[in-house]
Structure 1
Amino acid sequence: EAPYHSIIGLNEHAGTLHYQYYDLKPPRRPRSLLIDAGVRYRGYCSDITRTTAGPDEPRFTALVHGLEKLQLRLCEMVSPGVDYVDIHRKAHLGIAALLSASGLVSGLPDEAVVEQGITRAFFPHGIGHFLGIQVHDVAGKPTPSPEDAPFLRLTRTLEASMVVTIEPGLYFIPSLLEPLLNGPEAQYLNRALIDELKSCGGIRIEDNVVVTASGARNLTRECE
């Protein structure tokens, strides 16, 4: 009854957003585990992601905890009349704050970290999408995605009874980070720490949230 093939990434594979081609041998050192999986119930889909740090990864563990706190704040933004794009933009400011607090980025205010495109290298996808009889349910984009959120799948103002995912991520994807590390933004990046963490792959935390008449219900957290 799975609505899509589960994404299960160990270590650096957690940084591949739709990792499907699995290794046959386990890594010598488990540093991270990302599971993105769902189930179909009465014709409707769920889509949930959790990331777990390895037992000897204090820096990565701190990032996981920081991203979960951000994710919960973003879930609390879900309410009728809220522009979903605003949630996405708030996610980038939160990612910028987390990058600064962890020492991955320094010397820039959070707004500049976003404006210079640094957060998009660590968080390249949208904050989420519609959820229904399809995992990426239809009619989410009556207007094109804005320039600062080209991969956002939902550009609507939220209304009661809509169901959305809220799924911020923070990844160490070499092809996205190398242009920054070789460009003028390199002066603000902690290359040594990035090198230390890149084999952890990345983090994504995703809940399924239904918009109510006065706010929202986090269906995922209710089941924990």
Structure 2
Amino acid sequence: MQTNHTCKENEHLLNPPIQLPLPKEFHIKTRQLLSQAMHQQHKLPANSIALFKSEITKPIQDQDIEETPQQEANFHYLFGAQETDCYGIVDFDTSQAIMFCPNIPEAYEIWMVVNRQSYFKQTYAINDCFYVEELNKYLEEKKPSEIHLYDGENSDSGLRPSLPTFDFLEKYKIVKHQLYHTLNELRTIKHPEEIEQLMFINKISSDAHVRVMQNTYPHLKEYQMESLFKFHVQERCGSKAKAYDCICASGQGNATLHYNANTKLIADNCLILNDMGSKYNGYCSDITVTFPSNGKFTQKQKHIYQAVYEAYKNVLDNVKEGVQWDDMHLLAEKTILKHLINIGIVVNAPMEELIEKRIGAVFFPHGLGHFIGLCVHDVGGYNPGHPERHSQAGLKNLRTRRTLQAGNCITVEPGCYFKELIIEKALNNQEQCKYLVKEKIEEYKEVGGVRLEDGICITKTGYINFTNVPRTIEEVEKACAGLHWKN
């Protein structure tokens, strides 16, 4: 069949791919640091090991099709392997790594790529590889004094990890209470290699957000923004993995923090809130932009956007090593409250009184941000030895209260929302209703909500910002118009 199109004419459709490999030596280093920390903190007996379980392949209901897996974060961190149905051992005396891969029947090679032991030994920084059915024999010969398992409750989800369940493990001393917090604490400080990965995927994701802003207009469907974002990321670096479900909200949908239906028609003169991220070599991006559907902010939209922008800017102007995360949240909350007072949504009462009555949480109900890395809500937020979770509205949703350290990678994401459920409860609360101006709130409900989110890495003097998207009102409007927006 003849075609009139040439490669030359279609050069603009696809760009050359860009890649950033994660060095194999990185995983050797993480195992060494884990071994040192386990010995220092827990005085391990000689010949102690840890046994890790990779992600397991799961069929979709009763079909012969599997869910798309994402590797278990610690397995990636320590072994670098992306394959499922594997197990891995770290020897705490030598920091050596032994993997156990599935022995997939030869017939499967007709239908799928099958990797054997030699592949794992050549591809990953491990010391040896056996089949999973050889794990029992390996342990019998190794005779470990203790086998440590990664077991604990995730402080965000309340869930526990899936553990190895082999019957033969009953023959050994199993320790479940030490590895979890030690490994999580190591993961809170990112290595240069990890920071490089985070910068890489955040750069691509930032560009994807801008591309969506430049190509969005009224009467599109929200899911079309999601599809363009995903296309750009995969086209640039090949990543099909998602950090989380894309949030592409418009109008009142912006007030639902994790709105992900993405099915509405985008109206004229409404605000769009896109919270979208991706994943590359296991590392996540998490970026939120808010912009007007027709490219120009209305006056009400400007008022709320500016409140959130100044909260965002104040945090970035003050965040660095040694700062407590609670203080950054309260700084953002106070900034938003000052603007709401100026608008007339909140009465002009002493700031200490508004904070005590948790008026800020009526409009800013979530925490300021979260650790980010191999998980979009990364581990270690409430590790032992750090402040425990608040019980007050808004503050209880902080995903950490830690004093920040250089190497912490965290998001900064203040927001201001008009969520009917929260506002109605506050208006019916005798302690809070006297601080709220109902008529003015009704005027601004059409705004829905505004959130701005960057990913940053804490340094001794400030931070490195991974995110590069339009932020000021002027920059946003320029980007929406397809103009050069960077100063």
Structure 2 length as normaliser, TM-score?
0.44
Given that 2:359 and 2:435 are in contact with CA atoms closer than 8 Å, whether structure 1 keeps it comes out as: no
Q: CA RMSD in A?
A: 2.0
CA distance in 1, matches of 2:441, 2:275: 24
Q: CA deviation at 1:79?
A: 0.9
Given that 1:162 and 1:211 are in contact with CA atoms closer than 8 Å, whether structure 2 keeps it comes out as: yes
- Is residue 2:72 matched to residue 1:72? no
CA distance in 1, matches of 2:429, 2:264: 37
Q: Which amino acid aligns with 1:4?
A: Y
CA distance in 2, matches of 1:74, 1:43: 28
For 1:20, the equivalent position in structure 2 comes to 260
Post-superposition CA distance 1:158-183 (Å, at most 9, x none) = 11111100111111011101122233
Post-superposition CA distance 1:169-199 (Å, at most 9, x none) = 1110111011222333333322122112213
* Gap regions ≥5 residues in structure 1: none
Change (3 A) 1:20 1:196: same
Q: CA deviation at 1:45?
A: 0.7
Give the number of equivalent residue pairs.
Answer: 223
Q: Which structure's CA Rg is the greater one?
A: 2
User: Relative contact order (C-alpha < 8 Å, sep 6+): which is higher?
Assistant: 1
Aligned partner of 1:175 among 421, 431, 441: 421
CA distance in 2, matches of 1:31, 1:172: 14
Post-superposition CA distance 1:30-89 (Å, at most 9, x none) = 421000011223331111111124546211212102211220110222211111111112
CA distance in 1, matches of 2:281, 2:391: 37
- Is residue 2:310 matched to residue 1:63? no
Aligned partner of 2:451 among 192, 204, 210: 204
Q: Which amino acid aligns with 2:414?
A: P
For 2:177, the equivalent position in structure 1 comes to none
Q: Which amino acid aligns with 2:464?
A: R
Q: Within 5 Å, which residues of 2 pair with 1:66-215?
A: 66-142=307-383, 143-148=387-392, 149-184=395-430, 185-215=432-462
Q: Which amino acid aligns with 1:157?
A: T
Q: CA deviation at 1:147?
A: 2.5
For 1:6, the equivalent position in structure 2 comes to 246
CA distance in 2, matches of 1:192, 1:56: 22
Q: Which amino acid aligns with 1:213?
A: K
Q: Within 5 Å, which residues of 2 pair with 1:31-50?
A: 31-50=270-289
Change (3 A) 1:93 1:24: closer
CA distance in 2, matches of 1:30, 1:177: 23
Given that 2:300 and 2:447 are in contact with CA atoms closer than 8 Å, whether structure 1 keeps it comes out as: no
Change (3 A) 1:74 1:56: closer
Instruction: Describe the SS at the equivalent of 1:36.
Output: strand
CA distance in 2, matches of 1:215, 1:140: 20
Structure 1 length as normaliser, TM-score?
0.91
* Gap regions ≥5 residues in structure 2: 1-238, 471-485
Change (3 A) 1:212 1:107: closer
Change (3 A) 1:53 1:24: closer
Given that 2:269 and 2:298 are in contact with CA atoms closer than 8 Å, whether structure 1 keeps it comes out as: no
Could you list the structure 1 runs, at least 4 aligned residues long, displaced by more than 6 angstroms after superposition.
Answer: none
Q: Which amino acid aligns with 1:182?
A: N
CA distance in 1, matches of 2:297, 2:310: 21
Instruction: Describe the SS at the equivalent of 1:150.
Output: helix
Change (3 A) 1:26 1:43: same
**Which is richer in strand?**
1
